[in-house]
Structures are given as structure tokens and as C-alpha cells.
Chains A and B, each alone.
Chain A
Amino acid sequence: AQTIHQWPVAEIKAVGSPLSLGCTIKGKSSPNLYWYWQATGGTLQQLFYSITVGQVESVVQLNLSASRPKDDQFILSTEKLLLSHSGFYLCAWSHWGASYEQYFGPGTRLTVL
């Protein structure tokens, strides 16, 4: 069975500080990977997707970056946090190819002060 983990569970960070959020998928090789974000009271929106190691595409410009250093790992980061980065970050995976169900991790709650 496949499992998806996200870390940390929650973060409180200062404006201007760096950030790194992680996601790991176990039990599935070569998945498609996704980052989604939800501002407080807002709608979930996709930020990045990756179909293979080392290849990441940005969907929304939010002064964030993402990387896929290993087949089962997806990292979201920034060197300087903004207040607007606060919210809930979700990682998801799907089978490679067209039109499959997406499976979500437990999420990371980020508060930027």
C-alpha cells in the first residue's frame, strides 16, 4: 500500500525567513507529484507538479519554488517568506499518465508572522 507523509505538521515562521516543506511517497514508483495550497478561508489551488525526478513545473507564481530530488520526494521552499504564504500546504500523488485519482497527504499548516 502507498503512504504519503508530509513534514513538518505545522510551522510558525517570521517574515523574511526561509522555508522548506517536505513530502515523501512510499510504496509507489514514478508517481506524478503535486503541491497545493489553501489560504485561510480560500480555495485550494495547485502550485507545482512533477512527472519525473528533477523536473518540476510551476502553475502559480507565489515566490515559492519546488524540487524533486528523488523519485519519492517533493520539496517546497523559499528563501524569504511573505505574510501571504500563510495557509495550508498539501502534497498529492497520482499514477503517471492521464486522468487518475489523486491521493493527498495530511498537510502542513504554515503561519507567517
Chain B
Amino acid sequence: GQQVQQSPTSLVLQEGENAELQCNFSTSLNSMQWFYQRPGGSLVSVFYNPSGTKQSGRLTSTTVIKERRSSLHISSSQITDSGTYLCAMELATGGNNKLTFGQGTVLSVIP
């Protein structure tokens, strides 16, 4: 089965609303990262968050490693927040710090 489950698959918000994106992992992990994927495919790192809570502007990430979950909170959403958000778990085995990605959440922020 899928090791990384992201929810929701898609989300439509009105500008100014808050968004909560979830990521659940079926195996143990060392850390995790959140990315924004541009329409062309390139990745923008949003958070590297092994544990605890991190905030950057309107974005907040909370990771609870023992419970194998992480969330990304976007407050006061803006149209420019629209796009695909990916979470990825990292499990370091045999020298390989492998990232396993989720399927992504497609966020649409409308006026």
C-alpha cells in the first residue's frame, strides 16, 4: 500500500479562508519535507520539519513523528497559494536518505 497518504486530494477555498493539509505515513520515518510543485514541475521547498512546529509567514507545519503524521496550515489564503502541495517522508537506510512522496493536494484559491 501507499506509504504516504495526503488529504484532501483537492481543496477549493475562497480567498482569505484557511487551509489544512494532512500527511500520514504508514511506516516509521526520520523526517519529512513539504514542497510546493510549480505547474512546470519544479519543486519549491516549503518546510523541512523532522518534528515539532515550524512557521514561515502564513504557513505553519506541525510534524508528530511518533504518530507518523504532519500537517501544513495555510492561513488567510491568497490566490497565489494555488497549486500542488507535496509531502515527502524521509527514511535513511544504508546510506540512502530516500524521500517517498505523497500524491499531492491540489489547492485552488478563488476570489
Residues of A within 8 A of B (CB): 32, 34, 36, 38, 43-46, 49, 51, 57, 59, 88, 90, 92, 94, 98-104, 106-107, 109
A91 shortest CB reach to chain B, Å: 11
Contact status A99-B43, CB under 8 Å? no
Given contact pairs A44-B86, A49-B96, A51-B95, A103 touches B45 in the complex (Cβ within 8 A): yes
Q: Is the CB of A59 within 8 A of B98?
A: yes
- How many of chain B's residues have a CB under 8 angstroms from any CB in A? 25
Q: Are B30 and A43 in contact (CB under 8 A)?
A: no
Question: Looking at chain A's contact residues, is the secondary structure mostly helix, strand, loop, or mixed?
Answer: strand
Q: CB-CB < 8 A to A98: which residues of B?
A: 30, 92, 97
CB within 8 A of A46: which of B33, B35, B98? B98
Specify which of B40, B42, B43, B97 is in contact with A94 (CB 8 Å cutoff): B97
Counted as pairs of residues, one from A and one from B, with CB atoms less than 8 Å apart, the total is: 67
**Is B90 in contact with chain A by the CB < 8 A criterion?**
yes
Which residues of chain A are within 8 angstroms of B35 by Cβ–Cβ distance? 104
Q: Is the CB of A44 within 8 A of B97?
A: no
Q: Which of A32, A98, A109 counts the most B-chain CB atoms under 10 A from its CB?
A: A98
Q: In whole angstroms, how far apart are the Cα atoms of A78 and B86 in the complex? A: 28
The answer to whether A45 touches B97 (Cβ under 8 A) is no
CB-defined contacts of B102 to chain A, threshold 8 Å: 43
Other than A36-B99, A43-B102, give 20 A-B pairs with Cβ distance below 8 A. Answer: A32-B95, A32-B97, A34-B98, A34-B99, A44-B88, A46-B98, A46-B99, A46-B100, A49-B97, A57-B96, A59-B96, A99-B30, A99-B31, A101-B31, A102-B97, A104-B43, A104-B45, A107-B40, A107-B41, A107-B43
